[in-house]
Each structure stands twice: as structure tokens, then as C-alpha cells.
Amino acid sequence: MFQNIAIFGSSGAIGQAFIEHLSNQHPQATLHAFSRQVQNSDRNNVQSHAIHYTDEAALAQAASHISQLSALDLVLVTNGILHDDQVQPEKSIKNIASDNMHHVYEVNTIVPALIAKHFLPKMAKDKPAIFGALSARVGSISDNKLGGWHAYRAAKAALNMILKNAAIELGRTHKQLIVVGLHPGTVDSTLSQPFQSHVPEHKLFSPAYATEQLLQVLSRLSPEHSGRCFAWDGEEIPT
């Protein structure tokens, strides 16, 4: 049973759904919800925190603060960007732009890496603990058959490598720790909205369904799975 949980990207559809599920499933746990702005919650076991994700001093202080009473046993990073008002997935290598690529890398790779840097050392050593970050099937190099989406694919592939490295390093001191990438499928959210017309209806998941599936996947993992990436249905995604 989880006791001390941190959710990053709590204002997003998937982050919110994780909080709903975990708050119900683990009423005795404290859930720390991190986002750029405080998100008010009517749940007694949810504490909301505003944070600037690239401010390392703020990340270090937050990690120390929420682990003072007990080590963290579940950390989920749900931050991610595929597009916004300025950035769109590249259909061709001709569309690659330096500023856009920097932005996509910062959100999808650098932010999870910084969170891992400061929060992984605060995770439990004497009992099972899980650090999971949202990745994507399109981040698989060996599974790439279509090309395109250069920055997003590359950023998620880089995230997978960060998670693999972290799993190896922290596995030496945190013997029961699991570090994994998580692919939620295509979720009905602002991230996928412009591309939903190409998704079969039965493959477009609600945030509640996707997070429930991912939590079931996490419940079946053991330290030998650390450093790998798993989809919502439990299938391992090659990196």
C-alpha cells in the first residue's frame, strides 16, 4: 500500500485521473500534486503544490519537504507536450526548427530528468517503490515504421534512456525500486485532440480508463522490470 505519493503534471487530464484513482484506492496515503499553479482539491489526502519544473532549487526543496516524515513510495511524472499554439509535430525533416525542438525536449525529457534527479534519492530503500514517467510508443526506435514527429519521437526516446540509466544507478542502492516508462495509449485530451480523427473509437481512451489500466500494470511489476517501458495493456514496448 502506498503511503507517500507525488504526481507531477497534476493539472493535466492524465495527472488529474491518477489523483482521482490513487486518492480513492489509498485513502491513508498523502498525495502531493505538483503543477505550475496550485490546483485546489476537495480531497482530504491531496496536497497541492505550485512549482516551476526547471527551477532545480525549487525541485530540491520540494523533494526534501515532502519526504521529511516518510520516504516516497510512488512518483508519477505525467508532463508532456506534442503540440501547442507554436509547436506542431513535424511531418517532414524540412519542418524541424531549433526553438520548437528545444521546447519539446525540455518538457518531455529535461523536466522528467530533473524530477528524477531530485526525487529518486528520496524514495524508499526498505520497501517496494515505483517511479514512472509517461513515455510513448512512438519513442521506440525499433518500432518506428512511419517516421515524422521528429522532436517528439526523439524526446521520448531520450526519456526512455534517462529512465534506463536511472534504473541501473538507483538499483544499486534501492533494491526494491522500479523505474519505468508508461505508454497510456491514445487518451482523449488536449494532447491528442487534433489527431483523434485517425484513431478508431475503441482505441481512444478516457483519462480514467488509461490511468486505471496503468495502475494495474504497475501492480504487476517487480524490480526485474525496472528500466523498461510498458503500455496500458501490459505489453512491453521495445526501446
Q: Hey, where are the domains in the chain? A: 4-231
In this predicted structure, the answer to whether residue 173 has a pLDDT above a threshold of 90 is yes
Tell me: the pLDDT tens digits for 22-63? 999 999 999 999 999 988 888 899 999 999 999 999 999 999
Identify the three-state secondary structure at position 211. helix
Interatomic CA distance for residues 215 and 141, integer angstroms? 25
Q: Please, how many CA atoms are within 13 Å of residue 204, restricted to the half-sphere of its CB?
A: 14
Class of domain 4-231: alpha beta
Backbone angles phi, psi at 50, to 5 degrees: -90, 140
Cut 0.85: pTM above it? yes
* Adjacent-strand bridge partners of 35: 50
Tell me: the pLDDT tens digits for 79-133? 999 988 889 999 999 999 999 999 999 999 999 999 999 999 999 999 999 999 9
- Contacts of residue 209, defined as CB under 8 A and 6 or more positions apart, other chains included, come to none
Which grid coordinates belong to 186? 491514445
Interatomic CA distance for residues 189 and 207, integer angstroms? 8
Interatomic CA distance for residues 103 and 160, integer angstroms? 18
